[in-house]
Chains A and B, each alone.
Chain A
Amino acid sequence: MIGNRRNPAPPGPEGAPPSKEETRASAAEASALARCRAGDREAYRILVSLHERAVTAVVYRILLHPQETEDVVQETFIQGFLKLASFKGDSRFGTWLHRIAVNLALRRLQRLRQKGWTPLDALDGLELPDLRPHAPQPEREALKAEEQRALQAALLRLSDAHRAVVTLHYYEGLSCPEIAHLMDCSVGTVWSRLHYAMRKLKDEIKDGEPSR
């Protein structure tokens, strides 16, 4: 699967040539940006409506906390408006907003961890879809579901930076250069983190059911 499975990938420094829709969105975004720079606050509403879904998804992938996600999304757009003067147009506005969102989400996650909250708590009460009644091979499907749960738990046990890289790459469909741009690190760092995360996940899966 290429790209985000639910949300379109945010435009980054690299990518395929934009489609007509993207071109239209880009034009609307550019005009809204120009009005925003002139002090039109209503124009910022257009920008918010263009990016709110993608920003919410990215923040939620990192935080896994609905209430905190709302707060961070709100804070992301407020900061985007207040610091619009620092946006020089080197990248797209969506990329710039994602960068703010990722930084705020990671900072909020660190604060949540200090309070004792971990992303594993997001799995509490979560039930994976029971595929057994509809599957032709219920035992195999059950085993697969269990493995997925174990993988999900192992993923949540990763550190914030590694989990953010894996999540952004596999759930949001961002490329390594895009992730590097969002997280303000080099592409090599993204590769290294992905490699470390994969090895860690493999070890945990091989060891069996990871203990929580």
Chain B
Amino acid sequence: MSKQSSWYCDWIRRRGAAGDDAVSSRHIARCPDCQETLAAFHEMDSRLRALPDPLPPPNPPADLWNRINAGIADRRPTPFYFQPAWAGIALGATFLALGFVFSPWRSAPRQVADNRIAPSPLARVAPNKPAPRSAPPANPAAGMNAPESNGMNAPDAAGMNYPDAEMNAPDASGFNAPDAMGMNGPASGLNGPDAALVPDASGYPADTFPYGATPPHARPTAPPKPLAIHMQGPAPPAARTPLNAPLASEEKPTALGQIAKSAPPPALRETPDELMDAPAPSVLPRSAPPAAGVERTERTETSSLMSKAAPGALGASQDKDSLDAEASLNNGKTMSRDYPARSLPLLMGRKKGSAQAGRNRSILSPSAPKPETVPSPADSPTEGTLNRAPAASTETLAPIPPPAENSPSGTGIGVALPAAPPLPAASPRPRGERRPKGTDSSLTQKKAEAVRLTRQGQRYLRVGNRAAALRAFENALKVYPGYAAARRALTAMKAKKR
């Protein structure tokens, strides 16, 4: 049996007792089945070998070498980076890098990135919590926000002083100069603290920003309520808030005070109703109690803005009361002074936008617990123009009680308000302790949103999309009417259009 014809013999041997040919032969000699199988193999093998070649292979083509030569010339070896595997790896790496660079946790918080107006936390005030009578003094070591000797404000975590030059160009006093609307000027006399600054038991405002709160457009709208108090004309000097009144009289004159004296903003002629409905007895020791049954106007939010802008001016005050008041008023600022300490590496290591994103990120931490909403007369009506919260159904227009004697706010605007209840002692936050996550004012959010929209508009301007830029600036002003940069840009655009 030749080598080629004995493939099954080899197979049988291999299947047998380890190549023992004698064993296989003995088994085949005794086993009829195996004999039959082997005979069939023999027959088929002989048939296949006798099978004529019905399809003889053709001769190779005559021009085979020419075709091979042309084919070799056409096909250069592909560089490794053009091979599909390497191209896929490079593409994946590029996407990964882009995803890392433009990842949402590096750019902006989700809420701001979604271009939604941040729901105001003003409706989430817990007025029943004990408020500090005096807040801890400013902690310069905790952040960069301590008013310096030259009055320059470092950026704070409250978003009030962004490192953006066009946003917070400090004036001579080191504070935001009042813009055309007078929104930032504490001299407007509208600095009465609102419910947004009511601190909680920890000594910080309880207006924890509701990260997952219902957006304003999804809230049920309440029918407009008539204003119980409406003032016209310029406010008298006594119309200052109880907080500012002693400060203005006792503290040393500052540049801000000069500004306030020299150029009273037009906001003075607006309704200083927050003087009546300022529900901040827990913040300000001598402020007016919350006026039950008194409707608040939208200026209340502006007053909260101003009351936040004020602390810088109070930094030089030596008076105890004013210090208390400053500390109380500085609550938001004090709590925010920790923040830059955390965000300092961000500010130093990243660009401006990234630092802002980091700030917003820590502010809008989704892990922060939501404060429980407590319907009260002091919370819901303090919504801003855009973040109008549903009117508190429990609030009713009650007859205004006679003015209390110790109510300075009542004397200021001639409206009688109930006397402020005694305030519990403040629970100051120890130095170095960080502000709890998720606690920030809606003002910060609104301003951050305004900054974002303004920058978006500036980007639109750069690419020539004036309509979109105009919309962005207008939206920024809607969100935060006091943002001067957006107003300037809008004015410039309109002037250029003319």
Interface set of A (CB-CB < 8 Å, partner B): 1-3, 5-7, 41, 44-45, 48-49, 52-53, 55-57, 60-61, 64, 66, 69-70, 73-75, 77-78, 81-82, 122-123, 126, 128-129, 147-148, 151-152, 155, 166, 169-171, 173, 175-176, 188, 190-191, 194-195, 198, 201-202, 205
Could you show 26 A-B contacts with beta carbons less than 8 Å apart?
A2-B3, A48-B65, A52-B64, A56-B60, A57-B57, A64-B55, A70-B61, A70-B64, A78-B71, A78-B72, A78-B75, A122-B55, A128-B52, A148-B54, A151-B51, A175-B3, A176-B10, A191-B7, A191-B11, A194-B7, A195-B8, A195-B11, A198-B40, A201-B44, A201-B48, A202-B43
What chain B residues lie within 8 Å of A7 (beta carbons)? 57
Enumerate chain B residues within 8 angstroms of A173, measured Cβ to Cβ: 4
Residues on the A chain within 8 Å of B7, using CB: 169, 176, 190-191, 194
CA distance A13 to B21 in the complex (A): 24
CB <8 Å contact, A78 and B68: yes
Q: Please state if A53 and B59 are interface contacts (CB–CB under 8 Å).
A: yes
* Pair B48/A56 contact, Cβ less than 8 Å: no
Q: Is B393 in the interface zone, CB < 8 Å from A? A: no
- Are A60 and B11 in contact (CB-based, < 8 A)? no
B4 to chain A, nearest CB (A): 6
Residue-wise, chain B 95-126 has the 8 Å CB interface mask toward A (1 for contact) of 00000000000000000000000000000000
Instruction: Judge whether B41 is part of the interface by a CB distance below 8 angstroms.
Output: yes
Cα–Cα, bound, A195→B71 (Å): 40
Known A-B contacts A52-B64, A188-B14, A202-B40; the reply to A5 vs B59 at CB < 8 A is: no
Q: Which of A44, A198, A205 contacts B45 (CB 8 A)?
A: A198
Taking CB atoms, residues of chain A closer than 8 Å to B49 are: 1, 170
List, in ascending order, chain A residues with CB within 8 A of B11's CB. Answer: 191, 194-195
Q: Which of A1, A56, A129, A198 contacts B57 (CB 8 A)?
A: A56
Q: Are B72 and A81 neighbours in the complex by a CB distance under 8 Å?
A: yes
> Does B233 count as interface, using CB distance less than 8 angstroms?
no
What 1/0 flags go to B1-13 for Cβ under 8 Å of A?
0111001101100
Task: Determine how close the nearest CB of chain A comes to the CB of B326; give it in whole angstroms.
Answer: 81
- Judged by a CB distance under 8 angstroms, whether B47 is at the interface is yes
Q: Is A170 a contact of B53 with CB atoms below 8 Å?
A: no
- Please give the distance in Å from B342's CB to the nearest CB on chain A: 58
- B window 288-343: CB within 8 A of A: none
Q: Could you tell me the distance between the alpha carbons of A74 and B75 in the complex, rounded to whole angstroms?
A: 13
B149 interfacial contact with A, CB 8 Å: no
Residues of B close to A55: CB separation below 8 A: 60
Question: How close is B357's CB to chain A, nearest CB, in angstroms?
Answer: 52
- B residues less than 8 Å from A151 (CB atoms): 47-48, 51
The 6 closest A-B pairs by CB, nearest first: A60-B57, A57-B57, A78-B71, A52-B60, A191-B11, A77-B68
By a CB distance below 8 angstroms, the chain B residues around A52 are: 60, 64
Minimum CB–CB distance from A103 to chain B (whole Å) comes to 17
**Cβ A82 vs Cβ B68 within 8 A:** no
CB distance from B57 to the nearest CB of A (A): 4
Contact of A6 among B53, B60, B65 (CB under 8 A): B53
For A80, the closest partner residue in chain B by CB is B68
How far is the CB of A118 from the nearest CB of chain B, in Å? 14
- Contact status A56-B68, CB under 8 Å: no
Query: Given A1-B49, A170-B49, A77 and B54 touching (CB < 8 A)?
Result: no
B225 is an interface residue with CB less than 8 A from chain A: no
Chain A residues near B61: list those with CB within 8 A. Answer: 70, 73-74
Point out the residue from A45, A69, A148, A198 that lies within 8 Å of B65, measured CB to CB: A45
